[in-house]
Structure 1
């Protein structure tokens, strides 16, 4: 697999592992988190976004679509994702740039070339490459080949993962990385299902396996209002991590960076207008982890 579906390559990233990094975002995710900041990452296909503010209703996109995937209803452009083939003809046709695409097929050679452009910064800062998503392991065959090529250049490799990966796949891919940035969203399986659409047993089993294999792991908890932001939730999550044997955890306060994307994708956003959390809102929450002996930071 020399090609993968990528929706972003972000240079000079400082929040996805140590040092200065280039983060490569793969499309596809098995979870449907209600607060997801990258809803465009969930589908494993190319997606078309419509910006109503730029649209002049010329309907050239409707006329240009060979697959009848685009329609106009009540002065709104709608893209049928089941019919869309990701040819991007509509995007190139739109003179107002009201249509854009999320997801593009890229060759490993091109991705590695982009990653190597900042190798000096990685070496000076102790940085490297982070694979993200969506789910970083969502395209396993492509990922194996990409990692192989990146390792030929002695780059530090990290991956962001939900942990919701088939055991065999996780056991094969996880040891390829120098660092696992491992999402831990809830200790209670039913609450986990309510927020993400999946239960957490497989996630916890993979986390335990990675720990017992001696892999470098940084658990990261997205702290989400009305889902896992109570003191009781903090205590339960802290107990889970300490029982496994983990010593540190990073808290990721809820933010609203992805709200506009839902509008452009005609998707309902469960957290619309919910106030973002700040570090100072989570002092007591953080203390629950510290009391359990965990190095807890933002």
Structure 2
């Protein structure tokens, strides 16, 4: 049987997901449930339905045609019960106003490779390549490995955005395949990490240490989140942790609200709805703490 993976987006001409011009392949499914996640559609490892109220005429065509009774209309809004939904996408196909769409599709390896190879000339001219994002690509290890090995035969630079929260032996098997790990570090304190993400950070730090010891090319990325890890004390503690492990390069990602609307469309609660975004200019002192510790820190 052809190896298939569940993908929710393939984004062309990316310039923020590694060096050069890149194609970013977004894998669906993530072991973390970060409260600030800007891609909430990436968290579940199955097809989801989202609803855009601004396009809906309240005709109830989707409700009356759902064989699983997964859709209902209440308070002038379509609600989707993900426990009942089987991802048949009938509601998507029959909605007259395209108010219902799906997040995620099962794709064969050859489909993803075809899309990535379209822009090979741009990769070569810009020293770019392909980045695996998500979600967490390592949660689909067989599909990921086959895809990466094929692209490497084409001499394409491959990066992955990873949470680092992967069973250690599996992480060791997969991490060595990549030219660059864009490795998220969210907190130094295991209990605080659990509060924000739903998992402890022990495994993440273990995998990070192993990757550095084995001289894998790594860029640490820290999402700076208000009331979670944005204080100067947090910067001191994070920089001490990273320096002790042997980290050299750190990118700060100031909190933003670009994904806010997605929560409503997926009928999910967004706990950080009223939190103001952060800007680089307000985090200069935060950044300088890392620099003073000898780390190459930038936005």
| TM-score for both structures, normalised by structure 2 | 0.98
1:283 matched residue in structure 2: 284
Q: Where does residue 120 of structure 2 map in the other structure?
A: 119
Residue 143 of structure 1: aligned partner:
144
TM-fit CA distance, 1:279: 0.7
CA distance in 2, matches of 1:75, 1:276: 31
RMSD: 0.8
Structure-2 residue corresponding to 1:227: 228
Counterparts of residues 194-233 of structure 1 (less than 5 Å): 194-233=195-234
CA distance in structure 2 between the aligned counterparts of 1:251 and 1:136, rounded to whole angstroms: 22
Q: CA deviation at 1:141?
A: 1.2
Q: Take 1:224 and 1:239, find their aligned partners in 2: how far apart are those partners?
A: 19
2: CA distance between counterparts of 1:149 and 1:291?
A: 42
Are 1:81 and 2:52 counterparts?
no
The equivalent residue for 2:25 is 24
1:92-111 paired onto structure 2 within 5 Å: 92-111=93-112
> Which structure 1 residue ranges, 5 or more long, are not aligned?
none
What is the distance in 1 between the residues matched to 2:113 and 2:215?
A: 28
> What is the match of residue 188 of structure 2?
187
- 1:212: Cα distance to partner? 0.5
| TM-score, with length taken from structure 1 | 0.98
The farther-off stretch of 59-68 and 122-131 is 59-68
Paired residues, what number?
A: 298
2:168 matched to which residue of 1? 167
Deviation at 1:273, TM superposition (A): 2.6
* Structure 2: distance between partners of 1:273 and 1:190: 24
Q: Does 1:252 align with 2:253?
A: yes
Aligned to 2:9: 8
SS in 2 for 1:141: helix
Shifted more, 60-69 versus 282-291: the winner is 60-69
Measure, in 1, the Cα distance between the counterparts of 2:231 and 2:137.
28
CA deviation profile, 1:121-147 (whole Å, cap 9, x unmatched): 100111000000011211111111111
CA contact (8 A) 2:15 2:22 kept: yes
Please give the per-residue CA displacement for 1:84-124, whole angstroms capped at 9, x wherever unaligned: 11111100100101101100111110111110111111001
Whole-angstrom distance in 1 between the partners of 2:259 and 2:242: 28
Q: How far 1:248 moved relative to its partner? A: 1.1
**2: CA distance between counterparts of 1:65 and 1:171?**
44
Distance in 2 (alpha carbons) for counterparts of 1:115 and 1:66: 37
Distance between the aligned counterparts of 2:65 and 2:151, measured in 1?
Answer: 39
Q: Does 1:239 align with 2:222?
A: no
Distance 1:240 1:218 in 2: 15
How far apart are residue 75 of structure 1 and its match? Answer: 2.0
In the alignment, the residues of structure 2 paired with residue 152 and residue 285 of structure 1 have an alpha-carbon distance, to the nearest angstrom, of: 41
Alignment partner, residue 61 of structure 2 = 60
Structure 2 counterpart SS, 1:137: helix
The match for 2:44 is 43
CA distance in 2, matches of 1:138, 1:8: 16
Partner residue in 2 for 1:156: 157
Unpaired runs of 5+ in structure 2?
none
SS in 2 for 1:96: coil
CA distance in 1 between counterparts of 2:10 and 2:276 reads: 28
Give the secondary structure class of the aligned counterpart of 2:86: coil
Q: Which runs of 4+ in 1 moved over 4 A?
A: none
Separation in 2 of the partners of 1:229 and 1:70? Answer: 40
